[in-house]
A = this chain, B = another copy of it.
């Protein structure tokens, strides 16, 4: 059981009509993607060809920050504000798409970009699933 699932199971009030599994998967994907992007930016900095990876590093840094914040917003259920959740999910979907595409372009040459691109795509998909589940 992941940390997000364990915590969701202890929330004292009704979570509303949201699909608990879809929500937990999205929270986990956000935290995982934040870790992957932070580590990928750092790994890029260690490559000899760092000068060719500056856009990748920048996109990683944005994506790490945006996923971390999205994971936090989604970890809160008290005083739920649908508008904030939706716009933040939209920002996260966009950041993951940009970073996933950028990393995918280097995936054959850099293993860290390959693994990070997967984390971005998983997070983008999880955010889209949650957006759909929110109706």
Contact = CB atoms under 8 A, between A and B. Distances in A.
A51 B99 CA distance: 22
A29 to B, nearest CB: 10
Contact of A50 (B43, B51, B97, B98): B51
Interface residues of A, number: 68
Contacts of A98: 81, 83-84
B69 A84 contact: no
Interface of A: 3-4, 6-13, 27, 31-32, 34-36, 38-43, 45-48, 50-51, 54-59, 61-62, 64-66, 68-69, 71-73, 75-79, 81, 83-84, 87-88, 90-91, 93-95, 97-98, 110-112, 114-116, 119
